[in-house]
Structure 1
Amino acid sequence: MVSVCLVEDDPIMGESLKQRFELEGVECDWFESAEEALPSLLKGRYGVLFSDIRLPDMSGESLFDQLLEQGQGVLPTLFMTGHGTVNQAVGLLKRGAADYITKPFDLDELLAKLKQICPELFMVVTEAVPVLGISESMRQIEQQLRRATRFNVPVLITGPSGAGKEHAAQFFRDQLAAGKPMPFVSINCAAVQDSLLEAELFGHEKGAFTGADRLRPGLFEQADGGVLFLDELGEMSMAMQAKLLRSLQTSTIRRVGGREDLPVSVHLVCATNRDLQSKIRDGSFREDLYYRINVVHVDIPPLSERPEDIRWYANRLLAGCPRPDNSAPYQFSAAVEGWLARQPWPGNIRQMKNLIERACINSDSSQLELSLFDRPRLQTEPGDSDLKGYMEQCERERISAELERCAHQINDTAGALGISRKNLWEKMRKYGL
């Protein structure tokens, strides 16, 4: 479980914070000096570091620097500071710290900051480890899919392209299998010509058509006892929809060229990024099939609507990119982590995966820097929003890029942009920079 490393030399403050964390169900290791905390921090045991800047043996800033020097990347770090060290805290933010809080502070304010920095801390201990995301919407989807495994009814997964519909279908299979071998057979209905889709799904007998020199079981038979995933179901022709509906109603299939109905038992999962109700209205999707497959409906929101999942997904995707020489694993620089979290991700997880894999391939070191990422491609097209919204997005990206180029020096950034410091601050507040 993700936990907090608390570094605070004041015994009253430290004990109070540790007790409050435990009341919130957050695991916390409390150290009264940086020297005590450092060995555990170097083992990578924590999800967040919460440290006072002023400590008896070394400053919180020195502790932060040592972690960077030891190749720990940027552990999400929240600093406690008195009024006299606010400038020091601001400097740490520029170097990658997540946030700071000024003493005296309200504990609810502290918890709110920690939830923003590291949402994983506040997951209920009894919950299963997240698979589809840590956002509330994705945790609810996981629960919904777990409940669906109790019944042999179709599951319909909707959502935009790249949002993780097939991943959700695989999660459903894994929950259904409970650790036992179980087939997961998938097909993209939009990628197969309609004339071939029937044979793909239902199989064919020997001699059923030219080139059918042997009997070939279809995907329904291959998935018997497991899960059949029909992706892009909304692209299926009306004729194929009728044949699919018959199979679902009778729990049988008939191979192309065959005369017998063969019993099959599959858990059907369908997915589409199309509005099926709209297709029903325009006559391109069967209403009876819609009601047959829409027993359990899961709608996956775009990544832009669940920003807390962005860093979680990015780190999971990065962990799946092993270095070819088996040396130190890849890690994001602080600038990259911040940039990833600010993107709209119009292509969702698929786009993120492509971008991270490309950066890993082009990187000569284990730390991925901002220059490796093809930043302009993440901007949405003007047609995706009104002109004002698009112009604001472009302005935000430009200001963000100049801030990074000028190392967050306000005077330099304002000069580069040709605006006043006051105007720059106003725009930074407006865009959350």
Structure 2
Amino acid sequence: MSTYRICLIEDDPIMGEALSDRFELEDYHCDWFKTGGAAILALGHTKYDIAICDIQLPDINGEDLFKQLKASEACLPHFIFTTGYGTIDRAVRLLKLGAQDYLTKPLDIHALLNTVQSLCSRSVCSVTRDTMLGVSAAMRHVEALLPRIAKNPTSVLITGESGVGKERLARALRSQYDPEHKMPFVTVNCGALTESLLEAELFGYAKGAFTGALREKRGLFELANGGTLFLDEIGEMSPAMQVKLLRAIQERQIVRVGAETPLHVDIRLICATHQDLKQMVEAGKFREDLYYRIHVIHLHIPPLRERKEDILWLTGNLLEDWNTQNSDLRTLSKPAEQSLLNYPWPGNIRELKHCLERSCILSQQTELSAELLFDDAPAPPEETYSTQESLSEYIQACEKKYINNCLRINDGHIAETAASLGISRKNLWEKMKKLGI
């Protein structure tokens, strides 16, 4: 029997028995509770890895149960919610509260088992607001991959537009294999330094190596030894430096500038860029052999405009930080929320952070207005709706758009898309056929 324990909270006797039996067959230890009260008592004195909770319980709403447990400040297991009456609003609300997934019935048992297996590989209580990457399907998918990637000391390439949070993802990966942050995490922006300065920074230099080198200096490779070296904007690195970096990665050795003796280094390498390295390889601007060395695992972060579910979640986190550090509390008006969702955010999370910080400083009222948020640019227009289509046609258009977005995020994989939507693969195929996707 596996050491992983599952707390199943389900009042339907047929569903509860079926899930309980299946988990036992899959080698999990499963405790089944038919009421929220019984589950709360069990969660108070038993350490579970996963809690699978129905929303509609006979004595308490599943969402209220979760809020009650959160308020107790207890160390909770990973929570997955299930319901036969799913809504996007409720799903986003639960994910904001800290739930890990939200699935609608009839359940796709294979998708549920995959989610359980992925979450069990992550430390209980390790997922907090500070370690979450987002509530969108795209970021939850990336986050779910990190435990598997962390098991192997291989090179990782993170891509995405400027400001999407590539360093945050690198730090989240580091936290998976070094949760107590005992090993070093060293970062450098390759585009911020000239070739000669970057070489000295990466590899260090010997005393007298050049004018002004009055003492020897350890480079970032040495400082990161045993830990992680994060090379941001690696696409800006000169061809000559690419050769030296490739040699260091292949041989796991570096030589300080002006020295002769090689030094052994053992690091995890994470690289990031906003550029298309494959296109640069084809144009002869980036070495192909280096590209394949750093491109073993590829993680892509979509721009903020393609994962709008994360906008208000990030905004809430940023305002919470502001309210914690300042006596002038700030909230968002409904028009301001809508403006944030309508704006394309070319600067991504970095721009969102600056926008909120500026408006928090300048606002003379607690509630931030849309006009103040976009002080140096007109507020984005509110969404307009055509009155020429029926409600049914409008709902179908929204559903088609949302499914198309999920398919794009999951690279067209039906199983992964169905899992992110909380429906079965059969249900997804039927919807795609009906909507003409």
Question: Normalised by the size of structure 2, how large is the TM-score?
Answer: 0.62
Deviation at 1:334, TM superposition (A): 2.3
The match for 2:372 is 372
AA of the residue aligned to 1:351:
E
**Do the aligned partners of residues 118 and 372 (structure 1) sit closer, same or farther apart at CA in structure 2, a change above 3 Å counting?**
farther
AA of the residue aligned to 2:141:
Q
Q: Distance in 2 between matches of 1:159 and 1:24?
A: 35
What's the CA shift string for 1:314-371, capped at 9, x where partnerless?
11122222466x4364222222222212222121111101101111111234332223
Matches within 5 A, 1:290-329: 290-322=291-323, 326-327=326-327, 329=329
The match for 2:193 is 192
Q: Distance in 2 between matches of 1:362 and 1:328?
A: 11
**Do the aligned partners of residues 368 and 398 (structure 1) sit closer, same or farther apart at CA in structure 2, a change above 3 Å counting?**
closer
AA of the residue aligned to 2:90:
L
The match for 1:134 is 135
SS at match of 1:298: strand
Q: Distance in 2 between matches of 1:41 and 1:146?
A: 27
Q: Distance in 2 between matches of 1:213 and 1:29?
A: 75
Asked if the contact 2:338–2:382 (Cα under 8 Å) also holds between the matched residues in 1, the reply is no
Q: Distance in 2 between matches of 1:27 and 1:261?
A: 65
Asked if the contact 1:346–1:378 (Cα under 8 Å) also holds between the matched residues in 2, the reply is no
The match for 1:383 is none
AA of the residue aligned to 1:366:
T
The match for 1:344 is 344
Q: Distance in 2 between matches of 1:179 and 1:249?
A: 29
SS at match of 2:214: coil
Asked if the contact 1:202–1:254 (Cα under 8 Å) also holds between the matched residues in 2, the reply is yes
Q: Distance in 1 between matches of 2:173 and 2:200?
A: 26
SS at match of 1:320: helix
What's the CA shift string for 1:394-413, capped at 9, x where partnerless?
xxx4456xx9xxxxxx9xxx
Matches within 5 A, 1:11-410: 25-26=54-55, 111-115=87-91, 119-120=95-96, 123-124=100-101, 127=119, 128-129=127-128, 131-322=132-323, 326-327=326-327, 329-374=329-374, 377=377, 397-398=380-381
Q: Distance in 1 between matches of 2:226 and 2:363?
A: 44
Deviation at 1:263, TM superposition (A): 0.7
Deviation at 1:29, TM superposition (A): 10
Q: Distance in 2 between matches of 1:139 and 1:232?
A: 24
Q: Distance in 1 between matches of 2:327 and 2:347?
A: 31
SS at match of 1:174: helix
Deviation at 1:30, TM superposition (A): 7.2
Matches within 5 A, 1:411-422: none
Asked if the contact 1:25–1:124 (Cα under 8 Å) also holds between the matched residues in 2, the reply is no
Give the count of matched residue pairs. 311
What's the CA shift string for 1:124-161, capped at 9, x where partnerless?
39644461111121112112222121111111001111
Q: Distance in 2 between matches of 1:28 and 1:258?
A: 70
What's the CA shift string for 1:171-201, capped at 9, x where partnerless?
1111121214221111110110112110010
The match for 1:57 is none
Asked if the contact 1:221–1:264 (Cα under 8 Å) also holds between the matched residues in 2, the reply is yes
AA of the residue aligned to 2:293:
R
Q: Distance in 2 between matches of 1:255 and 1:334?
A: 57
Q: Distance in 2 between matches of 1:274 and 1:322?
A: 36
**Do the aligned partners of residues 142 and 194 (structure 1) sit closer, same or farther apart at CA in structure 2, a change above 3 Å counting?**
same
AA of the residue aligned to 2:290:
L
SS at match of 1:156: strand
Asked if the contact 1:173–1:182 (Cα under 8 Å) also holds between the matched residues in 2, the reply is no
AA of the residue aligned to 2:254:
I
Asked if the contact 1:307–1:341 (Cα under 8 Å) also holds between the matched residues in 2, the reply is yes
Asked if the contact 1:230–1:271 (Cα under 8 Å) also holds between the matched residues in 2, the reply is yes
Q: Distance in 1 between matches of 2:281 and 2:244?
A: 17
Asked if the contact 1:208–1:256 (Cα under 8 Å) also holds between the matched residues in 2, the reply is yes
Q: Distance in 1 between matches of 2:343 and 2:336?
A: 11
What's the CA shift string for 1:267-307, capped at 9, x where partnerless?
11000011111111111100000111111110111111111
Asked if the contact 2:342–2:381 (Cα under 8 Å) also holds between the matched residues in 1, the reply is no
**Do the aligned partners of residues 378 and 348 (structure 1) sit closer, same or farther apart at CA in structure 2, a change above 3 Å counting?**
farther
Deviation at 1:111, TM superposition (A): 3.0
Q: Distance in 2 between matches of 1:318 and 1:150?
A: 35
Q: Distance in 1 between matches of 2:181 and 2:283?
A: 43
AA of the residue aligned to 2:348:
N
AA of the residue aligned to 2:154:
V
Q: Distance in 2 between matches of 1:345 and 1:264?
A: 40
Asked if the contact 2:164–2:350 (Cα under 8 Å) also holds between the matched residues in 1, the reply is yes
Equivalent pairs: percent with the same residue?
41
What's the CA shift string for 1:362-381, capped at 9, x where partnerless?
123433222321266488xx
AA of the residue aligned to 1:194:
E
Question: Normalised by the size of structure 1, how large is the TM-score?
Answer: 0.63
Asked if the contact 2:342–2:382 (Cα under 8 Å) also holds between the matched residues in 1, the reply is no
AA of the residue aligned to 2:315:
A
Asked if the contact 1:343–1:378 (Cα under 8 Å) also holds between the matched residues in 2, the reply is no
Name which one, 1 or 2, has greater alpha-carbon Rg: 1
Asked if the contact 2:235–2:286 (Cα under 8 Å) also holds between the matched residues in 1, the reply is yes
Higher RCO by CA contacts (8 Å cutoff, separation 6 or greater):
2
Unaligned stretches of 5+ residues in structure 1: 1-17, 47-106, 380-396, 404-409, 411-420
Unaligned stretches of 5+ residues in structure 2: 1-35, 38-50, 73-82, 103-115, 120-126, 399-437
